């Protein structure tokens, strides 16, 4: 995060940060709207759908702390976690569609559609994360040729893990992520998922 002392404030820099924050909020709001539109369209096609909105999304590399998994880890509220766990237990996802936008400040807004064609069921996972936190995950997923999505409770318990066979759909331009390893840390401009534009959720 860019930090400025009161007596060292640069109006141009502060304005840039403010613009980035506004753009991030708009990007998140647009992602929520698009996710709901996708879910509505799938239901009209006859699919059963469940959409979960993450209060936090973390890119997790294999060597990250004590976690024994890697991929994108989505923190959801307790009721969403229970629904996602039950939904996952009775489905076998065989296709994935990824919808994402990169916003100002290096933010990625993502909706991952996990599809069980035989059961006619779709799990839609919606979140946002910072590109500067993802280079290690991008490298791992690109080399492995696969990707994972994990839904977790507030206490860290993973209630659903989904494997995706195509890492490129998540990271079509790996170099854009690797650039953050040498470019330094941009302004922290992701919107607060508990703010005015937040999706309904009850994270523990």
Give the number of C-alpha atoms closer than 13 A to the C-alpha of residue 23, restricted to the C-beta side: 17
- Residue 192 in any domain: the answer is no
Residue 137 has pLDDT above 90, yes or no: yes
- Residue 35 in any domain: the answer is yes
Write out the residue range of the structural domain in which residue 100 sits. Answer: 10-182
Q: For position 63, what pLDDT does the model report?
A: 77
- Residue 107 in any domain: the answer is yes
- Residue 195 in any domain: the answer is no
pTM of the model: 0.81
Residue 5 has pLDDT above 90, yes or no: no
- Residue 86 in any domain: the answer is yes
- Residue 168 in any domain: the answer is yes
Q: For position 25, what pLDDT does the model report?
A: 84
How many structural domains is the chain composed of? 1
Q: For position 20, what pLDDT does the model report?
A: 58
- Residue 187 in any domain: the answer is no
CA pair distance 159, 166, nearest whole angstrom: 22
- Residue 190 in any domain: the answer is no
CA pair distance 113, 124, nearest whole angstrom: 5
Residue 16 has pLDDT above 80, yes or no: no
Give the number of C-alpha atoms closer than 13 A to the C-alpha of residue 127, restricted to the C-beta side: 24
Q: For position 23, what pLDDT does the model report?
A: 73
Percentage, residues of the chain above pLDDT 90: 67
**For 106-133, what is the mean pLDDT?**
96
Of the listed ranges 35-39, 57-61, 101-105, 142-146, the least confidently predicted one is 101-105
């Amino acid at each position: 995060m860019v930090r400025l002392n009161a007596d060292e404030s640069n109006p141009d820099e502060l304005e840039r940060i403010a613009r980035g924050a506004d753009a991030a909020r708009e990007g998140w709001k647009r992602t929520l709207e698009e996710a709901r539109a996708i879910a509505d369209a799938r239901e009209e096609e006859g699919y059963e759908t469940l959409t979960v909105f993450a209060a936090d999304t973390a890119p997790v590399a294999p060597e990250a702390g004590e976690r024994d998994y890697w991929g994108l880890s989505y923190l959801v509220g307790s009721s969403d976690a229970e629904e996602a766990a039950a939904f996952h237990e009775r489905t076998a996802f065989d296709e994935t569609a990824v919808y994402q936008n990169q916003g100002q400040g290096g933010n990625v807004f993502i909706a991952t559609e996990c599809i069980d064609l035989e059961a006619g069921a779709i799990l839609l996972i919606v979140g946002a994360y910072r590109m500067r936190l993802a280079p290690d995950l991008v490298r791992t997923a690109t080399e492995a040729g696969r990707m994972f999505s994990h839904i977790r409770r507030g206490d860290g318990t993973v209630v659903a893990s989904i494997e995706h066979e195509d890492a490129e759909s998540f990271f079509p331009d790996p170099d854009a992520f690797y650039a953050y390893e040498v470019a330094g840390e941009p302004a922290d401009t992701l919107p607060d998922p508990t703010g005015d534009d937040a999706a309904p959720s009850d994270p523990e």
